[in-house]
Amino acid sequence: MADQDNGTSLDTQPLANGADTGPAAGMISQYVKDLSFENPNAPAIYQNQNPPAIDVQFNIGTSQLADEVHEVVLKIDVKADADGTTAFIVDLTFAGLFGLRNVPEEHVQPFLLGEAPRLLFPFARRVLADCVRDGGFPPLLLEPIDFGQLYLQQAEAKTQQEFGDVGQV
């Protein structure tokens, strides 16, 4: 029984002194970079019984901080208007540090612009909901977003813009 396979192999064991060659990606930390809540028409806005129309805008940015460390910034801007009057404005910049080691270059951008925002979003969503609730409004619970699919759509649109639609005659 000494030769029983325990599910490990020498090929998958970490190498000494950081000489691992397999790709690895992970979140190092996450944090609020900037948070602003404005309630410019309080207390009169609380008398309005109509639900506000809510406009939500997203922006994703990345920067490389070191050879294997990238910052991904998820910016969420929310404006709520009720009958032409601003109910509230929230600007949230939520970021995370991600370590990428031995990741092929063609996979870096899809990870940073698709997968990393997906990992950050639930935490940013909670910060936003708490902020709106603390401002005296019902919590704003954003629906989940498929950042991977958004990345693919934007990459495809960019490719079509650069090369044109070769299928048309």
For residues 7 and 68, what is the distance between their CA atoms, to the nearest angstrom?
Answer: 30
- Structural domains in the chain? 24-139 (3.10.420.10)
Please give the average per-residue pLDDT across 62-78, as a whole number. Answer: 95
- The contacts of residue 85 (CB under 8 Å, 6+ apart) are 41, 44, 45, 48
Span 8-32, pLDDT tens digits: 444 455 555 555 678 888 899 999 9
pLDDT digits (tens, 9 = 90+) for 34-45: 999 999 999 999
- pLDDT tens digit sequence for 103-156: 888 888 889 999 999 999 999 999 999 999 999 999 999 988 888 788 888 878
Distance between CA atoms of residues 1 and 19, nearest Å: 32
Instruction: Find, among 24, 154, 148, 149, the residue nearest to 98 by Cα.
Output: 24
The pLDDT confidence band at residue 5, using thresholds 50, 70 and 90, is very low
DSSP notation for 73-107: EEEEEEEEEETTEEEEEEEEEEEEEEEEES--HHH
